[in-house]
Chain A
Amino acid sequence: DTGVSQDPRHKITKRGQNVTFRCDPISEHNRLYWYRQTLGQGPEFLTYFQNEAQLEKSRLLSDRFSAERPKGSFSTLEIQRTEQGDSAMYLCASSRASGTANYGYTFGSGTRLTVV
Chain B
Amino acid sequence: AQSVTQLGSHVSVSEGALVLLRCNYSSSVPPYLFWYVQYPNQGLQLLLKYTSAATLVKGINGFEAEFKKSETSFHLTKPSAHMSDAAEYFCAVRLSSNDYKLSFGAGTTVTVRA
Chain A residues with a Cβ under 8 A of chain B: 4, 6, 31, 33, 40-45, 48, 55-56, 91, 93, 95, 100-102, 104-110, 112
A95, B46: Cα distance in complex, Å: 13
Most buried by B among A42, A107, A112: A42
Count residues of B near A (Cβ-Cβ below 8 Å): 26
Is B25 interfacial (CB-CB < 8 Å)?
A: no
| A44 near B104: Cβ-Cβ < 8 Å | yes
Given contacts A104-B34, A107-B43, 19 further A-B contacts (CB under 8 A): A4-B43, A6-B43, A31-B100, A33-B102, A40-B106, A42-B4, A42-B105, A42-B107, A43-B44, A43-B90, A48-B101, A56-B100, A91-B44, A93-B102, A104-B46, A104-B49, A107-B36, A109-B43, A110-B43
